[in-house]
Structure 1
Amino acid sequence: MTSSKPFLIFIAFLFIAGLSSIYHRHAKMGVPLTPGEQVDIWQIEASIQFTGSGDPVTATLTLPKDNNFELVDEFTASPGYGMNIDRDEDNPSVTWSKREAEGKQLLYYQASVKLAVAPDPMPAPMTTPEPVPFDEPMQSSLDTLFDSIYGKSGSQSSLVIQARKALNSDDQDVAILKSQYSKTKIFTQLMLMADIPSQRVRGLTLEDGRRNQSLIPLVQLYINDNWQLLDIESKSIDDELPVLVWQQGVPSLLDLEGGRNSKVRFSISKTTTSAVIEANNSAKQGDFFDFGLYQLPLEEQNLFKGILLLPVGALVVVFLRVIIGLKCSGTFMPILIATSFIQTELLNGVVGFLLIVSAGLVIRSYLSHLNLLLVSRISAVVIVVIGIITVFTVFAFRMGLTEALTITFFPMIIMAWTIERMSILWEEEGGKEVLIQGSGSMIVAIVAYLLMDNHMIRHWAFNFLGAHAIVMALILMMGQYTGYRLLELRRFKPMAED
């Protein structure tokens, strides 16, 4: 007796491989689990204006480095300037240069970004930098303020709350400090004195339609094993709007040589696009776990959208035949009929199928009296099916029944074999068995069509190829079933009544 252990291991492998592929496509690549989802794309334009002095010009703009966002696209508009984008991991920047520039100069940099699907967390700081003391008497006022808020707090979180409250109060020490330093600078100094890692950054609130915006001073601090972003200065950040950290770890936003009176302003707009398309466009080339089909030509994509529905139809056939016990004419003929229903729509397809098969059976009954060989008889039936479809199509067109023109989508060879099988079955077992198997085939085809035409299933079949491994595992498991079919249980009804 063959051991079932290798079979169970193979089934488990299919489930694990399928689920892993689905998880990778959704969690790592951002492919949505439901069709129709949209993703926001933020288009940010930085305009740089300065006055050239007639000397060689070099302008270097710091570019954003925020793990919570992914760069979708970028370009610059700078007529007459040489341009270079440096994607350094620590300090990305774009540099414009020109041999001679005089008068008003305008440079543009535009980037399209989206929220990262699986952002890489910022690393925890190794050590907290020592704060650089303020000049006196500012340092004395800072020490007094720190002692006050430290005594009122019992944890790092409460210390942050007390510091923010104190900076918005009318305290004398706060007023002295604010006369020379910004609230962001004072807050950062207090956090460093409390051994809480923090740094000053500048960010941009992403709100659709905003123009002539400047960067907002913010504070990043590491608390409760997580980096947090706080607006200490104005509390103008809306919690519902994303914030892009543009400048961190560098002293200036723009380094300009050969010019003066520089100014940087930002404009923001938002567009939406299909989350599926955007996720596949952003996929890294050569990703071993990327089994998406969007890299194929469009014609092949459309072809696979139909092919990948066949495993769903196969699952329906196996379930209804093995578990339920329906009888069909042909093993997988209902799947092909179901694919035709997708093109013809259900009602038109059912009516067309019944008309073709009925007319074909009538003509096939005449051919049976001619004692033809099998090959000749099948060939004749194929020609008959083509003739029936042609006649029905022309007749429907002349009657103005444009919906009936879709019957040309039926697979003619399969229809010919269906007619042949039903005709032989009629001769051997009678019309009742033909009706049973024909009805069973129609039921299976309709159920398969309803599933194959479902938007959710079509989305999963094309975008999550790992789902087909799970379908195969289910088919193999049902293939091991040797018990009674559900429809066979009717034989035991007299026993239940007794």
Structure 2
Amino acid sequence: MSTRVKIEFVAALLILLGVGLMVYKVFFLGFPLLPGEYRDVWTIESKISFRPGEGQVQADLTLPEEHAGWVLLDEHFASSGFGFSVADGDPRRATWTRKSLSEPTTLYYKIQAYRQQPDALSGQPDPQVQAPLLAANQRAAMERLVEVLEEKSADRRSFTTLLIRALDRRSEDPDGRFLRSTWDEESGNILLQTLGFAGIPATVLRGIRLEDGRRRQTLSAMLEIYDGEVWRVFDPRTGEEGLREDFFIWQRGTDALLDVTGARSSRLEFALVSNSLPSRSVLAMEQRSGRYALLDFSIYALPVEQQGVFKGLLLIPVAALVVVMIRLLVGIKTSGTFMPILIAIAFIQTTLLLGLAIFLGLVAAGLWIRSWLSHMNLLLVSRISAVVIVVIFLMAALALTSYRLGLDQVLSVTFFPVVILAWTIERMSILWEEEGPHEVLLQGTGSLLVATLAYLAMSNRLVSHLTFNFPELTLSLLGVILLLGKYTGYRLTELYRFRSMGDKQ
């Protein structure tokens, strides 16, 4: 049997296996085939980690409720050898217990939730005011601050906005700065205490700012006040009114979210991933997970932190297929095979146009510095290392400058993997030494073109939906790439190159 027949047989087997598994999951497990059939369902995983202490160990975690239009689809607990119970109340609390602990431990709690039409907060607390306990100098400063703000404000809403600005770290208000310098944050939130002193009922909303693929996320806080008729939410950092749509409320109130006794160095972190599934499909998956063993091998069986990682990794075979097709069928030269894929991954972090501008600017600066260093007669390794260090410095300078100018979008340059830039500059520097600037321009342009096409494929909503929900399609992509590896026909660029031969005939 020839190698060509062997490759065709293996490729056909891989393609059929991948497509067959996808068909099975669509028709028997209820997975949605098209992206138009789903809601954005967020999987939020809380991770409680702590080290051994003395005595019995008990960890109590406040569980979230449905607020502001959010619907909780399912929840899952990982006890890891602990006794476990859930106490129904307001709020609900999960409790893990163990007689003793000998090694560092991590406990998990995972929920799946999606947001219906944004709704007002339900079940508001009673509008009660708690007067703070203050030292004499604190009371005097707070009285002056409240008096000044009451003169400038028209109602409780405007008073709250002015108070947030007065207590900001960048504020020049002398009383606000004095209160901040003397306040112990562990004794309570200074905003809540000042609002209580002014007779305004207030509380705190603790929750998570949703960002797909985010790991090691910590809780954020929003401020909620009673204006005399309804409860209103404010951002305690900016003073803006309104609850953000990407804010998931975990707890309402100032009680401790996590209590751990008998252990030390406790920490609560969150991992987030957004899945493209309708709510009924998510419920069906949870109900059928015991019946269908195949679900145990799906991406959804992994911890959320790993799900976010694989959500990006499963797009790489798509980019690889684009590179193979462009190089073998079209015939465009690139700087290496994997380089366009790495550049496309960087574009996903920064968006296409911004990524192109940053990439071209940094690589051009690196090559210019390389050209200047070549006149110093340095060795190749030292020259390339110097270029990489200078480019990293330029990245840091660009990030700092954009932050000072308020251009937050440019801060995404910090996500540019340093390895990608270093490898790009190194390859182009060596190519400049061996082939000259014309070849650098030719391969560099080809790499950016292929990287752009790969980015467009990887960022396509349908492609990301299929790769994450049907990872078995990676086998089919492998089969197609194997078939393309045996292609020996003309490329499109060669047909254009030899077009004059066809005209003579």
The aligned counterpart of 2:290 is 285
Shift of 1:494: 1.8
Deviations 1:148-195 (A, max 9, x none): xxxxxxxxxxxxxxxxxxxxxxxxxxxxxxxxxxxxxxxxxxxxxxxx
The aligned counterpart of 1:294 is 300
Cα distance in 2 for residues equivalent to 1:344 and 1:279? 36
Shift of 1:368: 2.6
The question of 1:435 aligning with 2:441 is answered yes
Match of 2:362 among 350, 356, 366: 356
Cα distance in 2 for residues equivalent to 1:324 and 1:384? 36
**1:8-407 to 2 correspondences below 5 Å:** 8-38=8-38, 273-285=278-290, 287-290=292-295, 291-407=297-413
The question of 1:467 aligning with 2:473 is answered yes
The one-letter code sitting in structure 2 at the alignment partner of 1:413 is V
The question of 1:425 aligning with 2:431 is answered yes
The one-letter code sitting in structure 2 at the alignment partner of 1:415 is L
The aligned counterpart of 1:150 is none
Cα distance in 2 for residues equivalent to 1:2 and 1:452? 35
Shift of 1:12: 1.7
Query: Structure 1 400/449 Cα, relative in aligned 2: closer, same or farther at 3 Å?
Result: same
Give the TM-score normalised by the residue count of structure 2.
0.50
Cα distance in 1 for residues equivalent to 2:399 and 2:321? 33
Contact 1:322 1:481 (8 Å CA) reproduced: yes
Deviations 1:280-332 (A, max 9, x none): 32332374433321121111111110010000000001111111111111211
Cα distance in 2 for residues equivalent to 1:273 and 1:10? 35
Deviations 1:54-75 (A, max 9, x none): xxxxxxxxxxxxxxxxxx99xx
Cα distance in 1 for residues equivalent to 2:476 and 2:460? 18
Aligned to 1:420, the other structure's residue is in SS state helix
Contact 1:361 1:423 (8 Å CA) reproduced: yes
Aligned to 1:379, the other structure's residue is in SS state helix
Shift of 1:36: 4.7
Query: Structure 1 3/358 Cα, relative in aligned 2: closer, same or farther at 3 Å?
Result: closer
Query: Structure 1 497/336 Cα, relative in aligned 2: closer, same or farther at 3 Å?
Result: same
Shift of 1:492: 1.2
Cα distance in 2 for residues equivalent to 1:342 and 1:276? 28
Shift of 1:400: 2.8
The one-letter code sitting in structure 1 at the alignment partner of 2:25 is R
Query: Structure 1 434/495 Cα, relative in aligned 2: closer, same or farther at 3 Å?
Result: same
Identity of aligned residues (%): 50
Cα distance in 2 for residues equivalent to 1:356 and 1:34? 39
Shift of 1:420: 2.1
Cα distance in 1 for residues equivalent to 2:379 and 2:432? 18
Aligned to 1:294, the other structure's residue is in SS state helix
Query: Structure 1 321/303 Cα, relative in aligned 2: closer, same or farther at 3 Å?
Result: same
Query: Structure 1 275/317 Cα, relative in aligned 2: closer, same or farther at 3 Å?
Result: farther
Shift of 1:371: 4.0
Contact 1:24 1:289 (8 Å CA) reproduced: no
The question of 1:477 aligning with 2:476 is answered no
Greater radius of gyration (CA): 1
Shift of 1:495: 1.7
Cα distance in 2 for residues equivalent to 1:274 and 1:381? 51
Query: Structure 1 494/5 Cα, relative in aligned 2: closer, same or farther at 3 Å?
Result: closer
Cα distance in 1 for residues equivalent to 2:280 and 2:291? 21
Query: Structure 1 334/3 Cα, relative in aligned 2: closer, same or farther at 3 Å?
Result: closer
Contact 1:32 1:275 (8 Å CA) reproduced: no
The one-letter code sitting in structure 2 at the alignment partner of 1:285 is G
Aligned to 1:327, the other structure's residue is in SS state coil
Query: Structure 1 275/427 Cα, relative in aligned 2: closer, same or farther at 3 Å?
Result: farther
Cα distance in 2 for residues equivalent to 1:317 and 1:284? 37
Query: Structure 1 467/275 Cα, relative in aligned 2: closer, same or farther at 3 Å?
Result: farther
Query: Structure 1 296/492 Cα, relative in aligned 2: closer, same or farther at 3 Å?
Result: same
Query: Structure 1 21/273 Cα, relative in aligned 2: closer, same or farther at 3 Å?
Result: closer
Q: How many residues align?
A: 268
Contact 1:280 1:294 (8 Å CA) reproduced: no
Contact 2:373 2:383 (8 Å CA) reproduced: yes
Cα distance in 1 for residues equivalent to 2:38 and 2:498? 54
Cα distance in 1 for residues equivalent to 2:279 and 2:34? 11
Contact 2:331 2:491 (8 Å CA) reproduced: yes
The one-letter code sitting in structure 1 at the alignment partner of 2:410 is A
Contact 2:388 2:425 (8 Å CA) reproduced: no
Contact 2:344 2:452 (8 Å CA) reproduced: yes
Give the TM-score normalised by the residue count of structure 1.
0.51
Cα distance in 2 for residues equivalent to 1:368 and 1:2? 51
Shift of 1:3: 4.1
Contact 1:348 1:404 (8 Å CA) reproduced: yes
Contact 1:37 1:275 (8 Å CA) reproduced: no
Contact 2:363 2:421 (8 Å CA) reproduced: yes
The one-letter code sitting in structure 1 at the alignment partner of 2:430 is I
Cα distance in 2 for residues equivalent to 1:312 and 1:400? 36
Query: Structure 1 275/382 Cα, relative in aligned 2: closer, same or farther at 3 Å?
Result: farther
In structure 2, stretches of 5+ residues that fail to align are: 40-72, 75-276
Aligned to 1:331, the other structure's residue is in SS state coil
Query: Structure 1 3/454 Cα, relative in aligned 2: closer, same or farther at 3 Å?
Result: closer
Aligned to 1:398, the other structure's residue is in SS state helix
Cα distance in 1 for residues equivalent to 2:331 and 2:406? 41
Deviations 1:242-290 (A, max 9, x none): xxxxxxxxxxxxxxxxxxxxxxxxxxxxxx9534533432332374433
Contact 1:280 1:292 (8 Å CA) reproduced: no
Deviations 1:442-491 (A, max 9, x none): 11111111110011100100110121111101111111112221111122
Deviations 1:325-356 (A, max 9, x none): 11111211111111111121111111111111
Contact 2:346 2:417 (8 Å CA) reproduced: yes
Contact 1:320 1:444 (8 Å CA) reproduced: yes
Query: Structure 1 9/362 Cα, relative in aligned 2: closer, same or farther at 3 Å?
Result: same
